[in-house]
């Protein structure tokens, strides 16, 4: 087969594309240190205060940034799934989804799928869109992305932001018991993700089932996470298109690891918000009990 006869992704491809998860120029907010201001009304009840905008450390509030995808390609590739090879290479800032500041963490958060990118990088060609096989003089369209270099995110449909935890009546006003259940489920999912090991080749499909099972456990509390397993299946399906090429096991593991790490970021963010909401709800419940007892 081709695996024996062809050098699919030439050694220099990795020199061009580098690590697909490298985001050194993007300064994401620490998901475990988000804060959300509160205030106490004249009855002693703790209310959520107005959200104060904090400038994004990546774009300094402009909502724009330089493309971090095609900088690795060199001039051999004419395709970039992020900036489309525009002359100025300017794109929407991933760290703030183009807002210029952090969105209200009780309402919107960076996508649990793409983490604000709006798209997924093809792991077969690592975003270049084309591959040159063996001694071929011509570049051929990548079988994974069909020359596009990537795919629109299926979780946020390219909008980069998704909804916060789906509780009733809302994350802002959910009662103590509801918040406690959501926290417990989120904690367990994060523990399971921490020990999950992405795999490629013969172990890939078993690993996908394991990751899907973990994500499904918190889908009831996090609507965006509920949509992530379908994204995982679609993304891995496109990555499997490169299974005839050398190194495909690594590409499959990389794709899986990216889904895992982005889901972790989202869940850590939501765990922080759940904890803050729980602390507020507990204090208000205690106040209500004391006032009722008078």
Closest to 130 in 3D by CA, of 143, 113, 115: 143
Closest to 223 in 3D by CA, of 157, 162, 274: 162
pLDDT digits (tens, 9 = 90+) for 152-171: 999 999 999 999 999 999 99
Across the strands, what pairs with 40? 46
pLDDT band at 287 (very low <50, low <70, confident <90, very high): very high
**Alpha helices, DSSP H, located in 1-148:** 2-5, 11-17
pLDDT of residue 70: 80
Q: Is 70 exceeded by the pLDDT of residue 52?
A: yes
Angle between helices 223-240 and 248-293 (to 10 degrees): 180
pLDDT digits (tens, 9 = 90+) for 97-138: 999 998 899 999 999 999 999 999 999 988 888 877 665 567
pLDDT band at 261 (very low <50, low <70, confident <90, very high): very high
pTM of the model: 0.87
Q: How far apart are CA 140 and CA 136, in angstroms?
A: 9
141: part of which helix (H) or strand (E)? strand 140-141
Task: For the chain, give the mean pLDDT.
Answer: 87
Count of domains for the chain? 1
- Per the CB < 8 A criterion, the answer to whether 40 and 85 are in contact is no
pLDDT of residue 264: 97
pLDDT digits (tens, 9 = 90+) for 197-254: 999 999 999 999 999 999 999 999 999 999 999 999 999 999 999 988 888 999 999 9
Q: How many CA atoms are closer than 13 Å to the CA of 99, on its beta-carbon side? A: 18
State the residue range of the domain holding 156: 2-293
Q: Is 90 exceeded by the pLDDT of residue 186?
A: yes
């Amino acid at each position: 087969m081709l695996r024996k006869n062809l050098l699919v992704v030439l050694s220099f491809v990795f020199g061009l594309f580098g690590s697909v998860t490298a985001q050194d120029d993007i300064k994401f907010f620490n998901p475990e240190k988000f804060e959300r201001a509160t205030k106490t009304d004249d009855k002693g009840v703790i209310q959520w205060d107005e959200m104060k905008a904090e400038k994004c450390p990546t774009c300094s509030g402009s909502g724009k940034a330089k493309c971090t995808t095609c900088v690795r390609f060199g001039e051999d590739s004419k395709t970039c799934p992020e900036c489309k090879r525009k002359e100025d290479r300017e794109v929407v800032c991933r760290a703030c989804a183009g807002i210029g500041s952090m969105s209200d963490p009780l309402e919107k958060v960076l996508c649990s799928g793409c983490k604000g990118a709006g798209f997924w990088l093809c792991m077969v060609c690592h975003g270049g869109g084309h591959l040159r096989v063996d001694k071929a003089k011509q570049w051929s369209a990548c079988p994974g992305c069909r020359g596009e270099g990537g795919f629109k995110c299926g979780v946020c449909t390219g909008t980069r932001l998704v909804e916060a935890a789906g509780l009733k009546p809302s994350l802002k006003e959910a009662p103590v018991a509801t918040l406690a259940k959501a926290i417990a489920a989120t904690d367990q999912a994060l523990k399971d993700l921490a020990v999950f090991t992405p795999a490629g080749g013969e172990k890939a499909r078993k690993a996908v089932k394991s990751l899907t099972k973990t994500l499904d456990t918190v889908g009831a509390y996090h609507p965006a996470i509920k949509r992530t397993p379908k994204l995982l299946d679609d993304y891995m399906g496109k990555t499997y298109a490169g299974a005839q090429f050398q190194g495909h096991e690594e590409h499959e593991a990389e794709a899986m690891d990216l889904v895992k790490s982005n889901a972790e970021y989202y869940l850590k963010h939501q765990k922080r918000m759940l904890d803050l909401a729980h602390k507020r709800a507990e204090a208000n419940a205690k106040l209500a009990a004391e006032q009722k007892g008078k």
